[in-house]
Structure 1
Amino acid sequence: MSDTPATALLEIHTHALAGMGSVPRHFARWAALAADEDYPDADLSEDLFHAYLAGGDQALSALWSRHLTAWDFAEDPQWALAIPARTNERRTAAYDRLQFGSDLRKALDNVVPVAKIPGPTVITRDFTPWYTPERAAARSFYWTSYEQKLRDKRWSDAAIASLDEASRAVVERLTDPEQEAARQAKGLVVGYVQSGKTANFTGVAAKAIDAGYRLVIVLGGTLNLLRAQTQRRLDMELIGQENILRGADITDLDSLVGVDYIGDDDSDWDEFVQHGARPSVLGAFDIERLTTRDNDYKSLAQGIRALEFEKREPTRPLHDQANLHHAAARILVVKKNKSVLTKLVKDLKQIHGLLGELPALIIDDESDQASVNTLDPKKWEQGSTERTSINGLISQLLKLLPRAQYVGYTATPFANVFIDPGDDEDIFPSDFLISLPRPYEYMGAQDFHDLNSAIPSEERTYANSQEKAHIRDIYESTGDRLQEAMDAFVLSGALKLYRADHGVADGPFRHHTMLAHQSVRRDDHAELALLINSMWHQAGYSSAAGHERLAALWASDFAQVSESRAPELPAPASYEELRTYVHEAHHRIGSGGQPVIVVNGDSDRYFDQLNLDFDRTRHVWKILVGGTKLSRGFTVEGLTITYYRRTTQQADTLMQMGRWFGFRPGYRDLVRLYIGREEPFGRNKYADLYEAYEAVCRDEETFREQLAQYAAVVDGQPQLTPMQVPPLVAQHLPWIRPSARNKMFNAELVEIRSPGRPIEPAAYPVNNATLRRNTERWRPLLNSLSASPATFSNPPDDSSSLTRTFEALTGRVSHSELVSALSQLEWEREGHFDPHLTYLRQLDGTLAKVDDWMVISPRLAASTRVEASVLGSLPLSLVRRSRQAGKISFGRIASVEHRTAAQRLIDSASSSSPTHPGHGPGMGATTGMILLYPVVEGDSHSDVQAVVRSGVADPSKIVMAFTLIPPASAASSDRRLVRFRAKNSRADEATIPASSP
């Protein structure tokens, strides 16, 4: 019995919520039952509950956070069928069942806001449901332990619930480990660069082991360092102390000889999961490691014996319940290395009979690296498939383990998507493709680019512009800014130390790094490292001049950004408060007389010599100089300053460029990216690394958006299966294209339906004669424009507190006139617009009815406007657009303001057919919108002026580009958005041209 009212109330609430199970019920009744015996006189009123919440009772708030979040995330619960997860409506349904009053609801919402984060996007083929909530709850020893570990690491309830949801989405699509028939499932999980994919597959492994999978093989990178990092993570967060010790007495030093992590000077053994006893003693089962931190899989007799599973019922197969849930699980973390995998395959071949009964899970980290078969099929012998060595060994593992499930993890899915689905022995994700949501507090492309920002460039500030806050441009004409980048590194290190000394947890500040990269050549790395080392020793960080330089950078940059981006974090009132911390940062970075480490090797011996293991090294405060060798799996911990300036003008791989992505707790406002930019009026598209990378990010985001759009199930059936994903992949940068040319697919995209959604093709012709012909085809629409401009407006939103307006010439054309013009257009890639055109042609009443289209030709601001007549039209505003680096496609056509206004009109018309005063010309529910732009391709204002003579534009230099938004009513009764047809699998061309809406 408790001594205080607060503790009593907490115990009552804990027991009441536990009694409810997974379903919210009448809380007052359950609380009364919980209080009946021990606390008969307890005050169970909502007023007291409200008072404790308002008073900041942390324990009570944490308890309700876990339960409310679980109900928010529950997947299709019987008590809230058809109410989407993570919405206000779902939370209201829970409150209704709890029968809480309005004041208490508001207090709980204040303490535990609804986590309105997206769930995973799942593209799947039909599967047999088996991993029910009841079955998952019945055996959850390792998942429960892992979940508690995440709470100990201060993961939020929403983050844990999101991981729970995403890992469940994987496990439920594996084959039931208890089922009689052997079946392999293959899937792909797509995350973001450095976004916590390891946490997801650790959760998948925990749940799969609990469910009955007894052999888990994790393919963990191509270097010992990367494999050891993965091994350590699984040992610490999943396997735990008791399984590592295997009965050894922690107090007996002799019995601990050779045990991982014991006795290390920097050991954090106390942070490893503790189960309380060996799991087998607690009624669960043990996990036996067949690899350790320091030892990859070795071909030994004991390795073979370790794979021999004892059966409680010898006459029954291992996958039978009587045997499966009493057998220990085995985990191997192996390197993607030919000799290592060959030893494993050799040992497995010696185990006769059992492999056909063994539920196994293969987790392939960075699955687009080394795993994909890249040999040219044209060189294969008749009836024989030639494979690269790692791909061939993975194929052999799948053959030897008929009950093995394969799950690949990657942040760059294109290579895996383009694997030949007709090759049954390969790793094409034929069963499921899961795109993970962008994690909370993750810094990705959206945090370094003002993607789709409607704020004019002159109005952007540190507060409303990601680019202004984090990007520091490097132009040839303004110098290399390398000294400034180094100063920023020292200054940001000092600010981290200041924060740690003023109440901010210093865990995230353990490592502090800067990455410098300006060439792929090793000789250049050595030269750059020598330059940085020399500059470091001449920087005078202890001198008056050095402090004056840092003080100026703090005042002009860091102080202002931090004030607008992280006002809740402690900040010095003046640079003088930072002086001692600058000294300490300088000391840490320059320790050993060497502030710079070159990282460009590709061998285990090389990385061993570097002593750059972020897990085992107490503090790494260094400047790393490297190239593409850092681009795979090797996480640069504490990365705060990045200097990326290529001296070459090649458009080679951009994979290295994502190193600045990741989690930056407590210092995201300090992150800076110094990056090479093309001069404002330059001509070399490949020199602007920032824009080139933005193009790659947009391609990947488009792919994710398409998956999300078509993932919705219609009439109980998926609209899209993994086999149909390849045709959705629009062309992307040629230098990162996977071996798609070598693959053949059996599905062809023939129709994309877009009711109420923008259609914006991008692959316009480059030939002048073709451009002239296309412009001629737009003449009927150009002639429809009225001379009197209309005014359109967008109300204030998150990006601006002002109502924004623009003018445009407008006109009306019939549906048949528009389709006639679109049908005649020529494209740089044949068939580029066909899937959209198939849809639009059916809006004559065949599929749905569209009466007419409003044509909008926006006028630019007077200060930047160049007007000209096009084929005798009224004067139109010419706009400048550039094609993406290395591509034939424009990055975007419609401006954010124009597209937002058009979308608002479409959305308004979908809910009511009357006209809409104040938003421009009226329109009905069967009217579509077309934003029409006469585009001049170029990089400067002078390029636009050059195509105009006496107020007339040269039609051979004009790209008539457009964005269409069909009315929301232009939808089919079956609600399907994509349609496919069978493709001749003998066709020579493998990559299917596809358009990107």
Structure 2
Amino acid sequence: MLAKTLRGLFKELGRSQRDFSAHVHRDHTAVSRYLRGERLPPWDFVEILLREVETTRDKPMGTAERNRISALHRRALEERNGWSALVQVLHQDNQLAEKRAHRAESELQALATTRQARDEGWRWSAFTGSLAERGWPEASLNALDKVTTRTLACLADPTAKAAYRTSGVVAAGVQSGRTTIGAGIIARALDAGYRLVIVFSGTLNLLRSQTQRRLEEALLASDDADEQMQARFPLLRLTSEESDYRSMPSGNVLQFEKVHEALPLSSPPNLYPAVPRLLVVKQNVAVLRKLLRDLRLAGPILEEVPALIVDFEPSPPYLSLYGGGSGNETVAQSRIDLVRSEIVSLLPRAQLVRFEHQVTCDSSPTATTMRSESLWDGPPDFVVSAQPREPRWGSEDPT
């Protein structure tokens, strides 16, 4: 009965016994005898076969089916080996119990980290605490809290099973504290579970360095107490105040390790222990192509990474910008937009927050409301005002 069950599972793989044996590094003759019922397979071989079947099905095997196969294997051990089978069964039970205990311990640690990061919001608390120490009035802190809370509420849940992208705009006028608001959004996003943060800071080295410095001041530890929390919730910076993004060997710094290989990175047991990455890059074609290359080398794991992209200098067609540009500037911006779109294409869980001075609506009949593959093309999914005003009905046009 065990051999018949294993043969049925093996047929689902749709491959020859010789190919399968080479794939799992097993002797072809032994595999053939296992499947014909001439030899009792060890349990580790059965587990390998079950994992391959789960990969073919693209879903975990049901508990009832797995328990039935385990019971058949135990019965076969008893029939073939008699009392000596008891030692093998106890050994298997001990290994299984150790695996379950290790998994349970890891999940409990991850859940504890999750509660502390999300409920206490360490990065957000440390950020606002530093602002209060520098003399920010309570009214300004409350306004910052509202803007960042509303923005984060419009983004995807980083632990959601379904992956989707969102594009939004924070309307912030000149000298309205765009970098501070952006730092607050990033702090909340890191607490919520976003693990890759890419900041586009403009086209000048000076602006990029200033943005990097201000974000580090907002997101990193400022005293001994914060340093202890920083050790528990580290932040890996892939750029510095002195250096823009540089190509990494094999793109390994963009690889995210998982505690549980069978679960996606976006699941809480894997997501919260993962170390976040922060990049502040200049909007330059050469720099962006280096980042694009390393993201490609990182591989499929990026499909599971909740990513936040903050763009301080956008130029999409649906937002009004001050001033015009020459033909050369337009061509350069088109190249930048193309590379940025390729970067986003590698991140199915990317959320884009753009900062703009002013938002206008195009009411012409030719205006389209269809979404594009690029988060920079088409109308935003949401708009949050950094300085909301109460509506005035009277002489002001409601439209």
TM-score if structure 2 supplies the norm length?
0.62
Gaps of 5+ in 1: 1-133, 241-271, 375-386, 439-704, 710-753, 761-976, 978-996
Corresponding letter in the other structure for 1:286: P
* Pairwise CA distance, 1:232: 0.2
User: Are the counterparts in 2 of residues 368 and 416 from structure 1 also a CA contact under 8 Å?
Assistant: no
Q: Distance in 2 between matches of 1:168 and 1:403?
A: 20
CA shift for structure 1 position 431: 1.7
Q: CA deviation at 1:354?
A: 0.4
1:535-583 deviation per Cα after TM superposition (whole angstroms, max 9, x unaligned): xxxxxxxxxxxxxxxxxxxxxxxxxxxxxxxxxxxxxxxxxxxxxxxxx
Partner of 1:213: 194
Q: Given the alignment of the two structures, is residue 758 of structure 1 paired with residue 395 of structure 2, yes or no?
A: yes
Amino acid at match of 1:349: R
**Structure having the larger proportion of residues in helix:** 2
Which residue of structure 2 aligns with residue 391 of structure 1?
Answer: 337
The question of whether the paired residues in 1 share the 8 Å contact of 2:220 and 2:230 is answered with: no
Q: Deviations over 1:390-410 (max 9, x none)?
A: 111221122110000000011
Kept in 1, the 8 Å contact 2:147–2:385? The answer is no
Q: Which residue of 2 aligns with 1:226?
A: 207
SS in 1 for 2:229: coil
Between the aligned partners of 1:231 and 1:317, the Cα distance in structure 2 is 31
- Per-residue Cα deviation, 1:377-399 (whole angstroms, up to 9, x for no partner): xxxxxxxxxx8111112211221
Q: In the superposition, relative to structure 1, how do residues 155 and 315 fare at CA in structure 2: closer, same or farther (>3 Å)?
A: same
CA contact (8 A) 1:145 1:273 kept: no
Match of 1:178 in 2: 159
Structure 2 CA distance for aligned equivalents of residues 138 and 196 of structure 1: 26
Shift of 1:421: 4.0
| CA deviation map 1:50-101 (0-9, x unaligned) | xxxxxxxxxxxxxxxxxxxxxxxxxxxxxxxxxxxxxxxxxxxxxxxxxxxx
Contact 2:309 2:352 (C-alpha < 8 Å) held by counterparts: yes
Shift of 1:370: 11
Q: Secondary structure at the match of 2:163?
A: coil
Change in 2 beyond 3 A, CA 1:350/1:205:
same
Decide which structure has greater strand share.
1
CA deviations over 1:208-243 (Å, ceiling 9, x no partner):
000000000000111010000000001112123xxx
Q: Which residue of 2 aligns with 1:430?
A: 380
Specify whether residues 370 and 393 from structure 1 end up closer, same or farther in structure 2 by C-alpha distance, changes over 3 A only. farther
SS at match of 2:280: strand
Which residue is 2:290 aligned to? 343
Q: Which residue is equivalent to 2:17?
A: none
1:170 touches 1:204 (CA, 8 Å); kept in 2? yes
Whole-angstrom distance in 2 between the partners of 1:188 and 1:202 = 15
Residue pair 1:188, 1:434 contacting (<8 A) in 2 also: yes
Give the SS at the match of 1:277.
helix
Task: Report how far residue 280 of structure 1 moved.
Answer: 5.8
Change (3 A) 1:285 1:759: closer
Residue 358 of structure 2: aligned partner? 412
**RCO higher in 1 or 2 (8 Å CA, sep ≥ 6)?**
2
Could you say which residue in structure 1 is the equivalent of 2:133? 152
Asked whether the 8 Å contact 1:367–1:416 carries over to 2, the reply is no
Q: d(CA) in 1 for partners of 2:207 and 2:289?
A: 19
Tell me the amino acid that sits aligned with residue 184 of structure 1.
Answer: R
Matched, 1:289 2:260: no
Q: Kindly tell me: are residues 435 and 373 of structure 1, through their superposed partners in 2, closer, same or farther at Cα, counting changes over 3 Å?
A: closer
Query: Following TM superposition, by how much is the alpha carbon of 1:194 offset from its aligned partner in structure 2, in angstroms?
Result: 1.3
2:312 to 352, 365, 370: 365
Question: Residues 336 and 370 of structure 1 are in contact (CA less than 8 Å); yes or no, is this contact kept in structure 2?
Answer: no
Tell me the secondary structure at the aligned position of residue 279 of structure 1.
helix
1:390 and 1:398 map into 2 onto residues whose CA distance is 12
Give the whole-Å Cα distance in 2 for the aligned partners of 1:312 and 1:293.
32
TM-superposed CA distance for 1:273, in Å, is: 5.9
Deviation (angstroms), 1:293: 0.5
* Structure 2 counterpart SS, 1:341: helix
Paired residues of 1:287 and 1:328 also in contact (CA < 8 A)? yes
> 1:28-47 to 2 correspondence within 5 Å?
none
Change (3 A) 1:274 1:408: farther
User: Gapped runs of 5+ residues in structure 2?
Assistant: 1-114, 322-332
* Paired AA for residue 352 in structure 1: G
Shift of 1:424: 3.4
Moved more, 188-197 or 272-281: 272-281
- Secondary structure in structure 1 of the residue aligned to 2:131: helix
Instruction: Indicate the residue corresponding to 2:278 in structure 1.
Output: 331
Aligned residue among 277, 289, 302 for 2:227: 277
SS at match of 2:355: strand
Change (3 A) 1:388 1:404: same
Separation in 1 of the partners of 2:137 and 2:152? 23
- TM-aligned CA deviation for residue 341 of structure 1: 0.7
AA matched with 1:285: F
Partner Cα distance (1:372, 1:339) in 2: 26
Do the aligned residues in 1 keep the contact of 2:318 with 2:379 (CA within 8 Å)?
no
Q: Does 1:308 align with 2:255?
A: yes
Alignment of 1:637-656 (within 5 A): none
- Aligned-partner Cα distance in 2 for 1:288–1:184: 24
Instruction: Give the deviation of 1:140 after TM superposition.
Output: 0.4
Q: What amino acid sits opposite 2:298 in the alignment?
A: I
**Aligned residue for 2:180?**
199
- The one-letter amino acid of 2:374's match is E
8 A contact 1:359–1:403 mirrored in 2: yes
CA–CA distance in 2 between the matches of 1:416 and 1:372? 9
How much does 1:137 deviate? 5.4
- Against the structure 1 CA distance between its residues 370 and 198, is the aligned structure 2 distance closer, same or farther, given a 3 Å change threshold? farther
1:759 & 1:150 partners in 2: Cα distance?
Answer: 36
Residue type at the aligned position of 1:395: S
Contact 1:372–1:391 under 8 Å retained in 2: no
Q: CA deviation at 1:759?
A: 6.2
Distance (whole Å) between structure 2 residues aligned to residue 416 and residue 325 of structure 1: 41
Partner residue in 1 for 2:150: 169
When normalised by structure 1's length, the TM-score is 0.26
Residues 418-567 of structure 1: pairs in structure 2 closer than 5 A: 421-422=369-370, 423-427=372-376, 428-437=378-387
Tell me by how many angstroms 1:757 deviates.
2.3
Q: 1:402 to 1:369 in 2, by over 3 A?
A: closer
Partner SS for 1:388: helix
Judged with a 3 Å threshold, the aligned counterparts in structure 2 of structure 1 residues 357 and 182 are, in CA distance, closer, same or farther, namely same
For the 8 Å contact 1:366–1:411, the answer to whether it is kept is no
Cα offsets for 1:263-303 (capped at 9, x unmatched) = xxxxxxxxx5655435364xx4210000001110011217x
1:973-997, CA deviations, whole angstroms, 9 ceiling, x for partnerless residues? xxxx7xxxxxxxxxxxxxxxxxxx6
- Tell me which amino acid in the other structure corresponds to 1:192: G
Report SS of the residue matched to 1:163: helix
Instruction: Pick the structure with greater CA Rg.
Output: 1
Cα distance in 2 for residues equivalent to 1:207 and 1:218: 15
TM-fit CA distance, 1:429: 4.6
CA distance in 2 between partners of 1:225 and 1:157 (Å): 31
Q: Partners of 2:164 and 2:116 in 1: how far apart? A: 20
Q: Deviations over 1:594-638 (max 9, x none)?
A: xxxxxxxxxxxxxxxxxxxxxxxxxxxxxxxxxxxxxxxxxxxxx
Contact 2:257 2:274 in 1 (8 A): yes
* Cα distance change on mapping 1:274 and 1:280 into 2, 3 Å: closer
Amino acid at match of 1:436: A
Question: 2:264 is matched with which residue?
Answer: 317
- Would the alpha carbon gap of residues 218 and 429 (structure 1) be closer, same or farther in structure 2, given more than 3 Å must change? farther
Tell me how far 1:371 sits from its aligned partner: 11
Identity level (%): 35
Task: Return closer, same or farther for 1:231/1:759 CA change in 2, 3 Å cut-off.
Answer: closer
- Aligned partner letter, 1:213: Y
- How many Å separate the matches in 1 of 2:197 and 2:363? 24
Secondary structure of the residue that 1:336 maps to in structure 2?
coil
Residue type of the partner of 2:247?
S
For residues 728-747 of structure 1, the aligned pairs below 5 Å read: none
The 8 Å contact of residues 212 and 324 in structure 1, kept in 2 or not, is answered as yes
Counterparts of 1:21-60 in structure 2, within 5 Å, are none
CA RMSD of aligned residues (A): 3.2
Distance 1:408 1:135, change over 3 A: farther
SS at match of 1:311: coil
Q: In 2, Cα distance between the equivalents of 1:425 and 1:417?
A: 22
